[in-house]
Amino acid sequence: GGDLYDIVRPLLFHNSQPADSKSTDGNCAKFSKKPTKPAREGVEKKSLCSAMEMMRRRHMKSSYSELTSLLPPQNKHIKSKKPVKDVVSEAIGYIRHLQEKVVRLSKTRDEMRVKINETFPVVKVDHVCSHVLVTTDTMRGQMVLSKLIVAVEEQGLQVITASSFTTRNKLTHTLHCE
């Protein structure tokens, strides 16, 4: 709009003064004071279009450089400039690679969470009147009943009854204490 023209115009026409009134021809430029000659109007229009194109190209070059800098290091050792098409294709491939890596790592994380949950015993303590009921669910061979009894007795409780049973890979111990 007018703001861009106000920035570019002094760069193109060093002797020009800011415009008081502007008219638009609809293409790519706004013009300053009433043009005195049609030739001057054409020169200003061409110069403004050229300046805008130059700014667009600089922006594209900057964006291209930024994209190139974001690619993995193994692709930066080549000093020659690659065509834009190749860099964009490489960036798309790299993005797909990263997406696949995210999926793999998410799957690994979820598997590890399941293993962690299976690894640690679940201990539930219920107070019923003057008695305490201790129930643990663990993986087979993970927690020995005798260790559980010793831990409960170290807390000052006396084990009245103890029972164990297995379901699939889970082992459940129940202690009735007072």
Shared-domain flag, residues 92 and 103: yes
Instruction: Looking at mean pLDDT, say which of 7-21, 42-56, 63-77, 100-114 comes out highest.
Output: 100-114
Q: Would the pLDDT of 18 be above 60? A: no
Shared-domain flag, residues 81 and 130: no
List pLDDT tens digits, range 93-143: 999 999 999 999 999 999 888 777 666 667 778 777 777 877 777 766 666
User: Across all residues in the chain, what is the average pLDDT?
Assistant: 75
Q: State the pLDDT at residue 95.
A: 92
Shared-domain flag, residues 14 and 56: yes
List pLDDT tens digits, range 58-103: 999 898 888 888 888 765 555 567 888 888 888 899 999 999 999 9
pTM for the model stands at: 0.43
Q: State the pLDDT at residue 52.
A: 92
Cα distances from 75 to residues 63, 70, 71, in angstroms, run 17, 10, 7
Shared-domain flag, residues 14 and 45: yes
Q: State the pLDDT at residue 38.
A: 62
Shared-domain flag, residues 35 and 10: yes
**Which residue segment(s) compose the domain that 98 sits in?**
72-119
How many domains are contained in the chain?
Answer: 3
Mean pLDDT, residues 45-67: 90
Shared-domain flag, residues 109 and 131: no
79 vs 144: which has the higher pLDDT: 144
Shared-domain flag, residues 11 and 52: yes
Q: State the pLDDT at residue 106.
A: 95
Shared-domain flag, residues 12 and 66: yes
Shared-domain flag, residues 57 and 91: no
Q: What is the DSSP string of 1-53?
A: -HHHHHHHHHHH-TT----SS-EE-SSS-EE-S--S-HHHHHHHHHHHHHHHH
Shared-domain flag, residues 23 and 57: yes
101 vs 24: which has the higher pLDDT: 101
CA separation for the pair 133, 125 (Å, rounded) = 6
Shared-domain flag, residues 101 and 160: no
Q: State the pLDDT at residue 6.
A: 59
Q: State the pLDDT at residue 117.
A: 67
Percent of the chain with pLDDT over 90: 15
CA separation for the pair 68, 125 (Å, rounded) = 59
